[in-house]
Structure 1
């Protein structure tokens, strides 16, 4: 027979985590409704995720700068993800690792300068 008492701390942890997550989600909504802070109007209910109002046709064209900003974010996010393990292992990789990372950062800097020169970072 299996002794299930060993799983009690895990079950207790999951119950506390679930309770706290429910508390952090629903308590602010309840407080805002009780205090009168819940006052939606047309401006608050507009689209804000993509920067322009939603449209009916999924094939209509819009500005390519949205893609450029997204790609730039992904590139520099990946750069940050590569910098941490490189910094941790720099003692083992030595000069070869340092030169490789400087080459990588140089290529990214050239790409950023090109993007800046082409006006992809200018927002109108």
Structure 2
């Protein structure tokens, strides 16, 4: 048996998994189309959240300061997935993998310190910063 044939025979579970994923996605998208009938009612166009009808304007403007913090959270949370994968393959990675992960974590810490130093993680408004500066004097 040649090496290419052995490699191809080891690949079929992955291909079956991908086909199963696409089949489940197709089924999940098709079922509501056949079962659900659009029935517009009196409250179809009204805003509704958690069983409470909102009072006042429903359009709330969020400050831009929340978005960078959310993006930083997603980025650093994604890095935790890489560290978890490394921890699973710790023995196979050996010392070289350990050193590479130390460099990776060092870069993450440097990025976090940089974000902290430039004030990207500070949610306070300019007025709150001025009040804190006055209290320190």
Normalization by structure 1: what TM-score?
A: 0.51
Do the aligned partners of residues 39 and 74 (structure 1) sit closer, same or farther apart at CA in structure 2, a change above 3 Å counting? Answer: closer
Aligned to 1:111: 111
Aligned to 2:91: 91
Q: CA RMSD in A?
A: 2.7
Do the aligned partners of residues 38 and 73 (structure 1) sit closer, same or farther apart at CA in structure 2, a change above 3 Å counting? Answer: closer
The structural deviation recorded for 1:42 is 1.6
**How many residue pairs get matched?**
77
Normalization by structure 2: what TM-score?
A: 0.47
The structural deviation recorded for 1:39 is 4.0
Within 5 Å, give how 1:32-71 maps onto structure 2.
38-42=51-55, 46-47=58-59, 52=62, 63=64, 65-71=65-71
The structural deviation recorded for 1:66 is 3.9
The structure with more radius of gyration: 2
- Alignment partners' CA distance in 2, 1:47 and 1:117: 34
Where does structure 1 lack aligned partners over 5 or more consecutive residues? 1-13, 19-36, 53-61
- Alignment partners' CA distance in 2, 1:78 and 1:69: 14
- Alignment partners' CA distance in 2, 1:41 and 1:74: 30
**Post-superposition, which runs of at least 4 consecutive aligned residues in structure 1 deviate over 3 A?**
45-48
Where does structure 2 lack aligned partners over 5 or more consecutive residues? 1-26, 32-49, 125-137
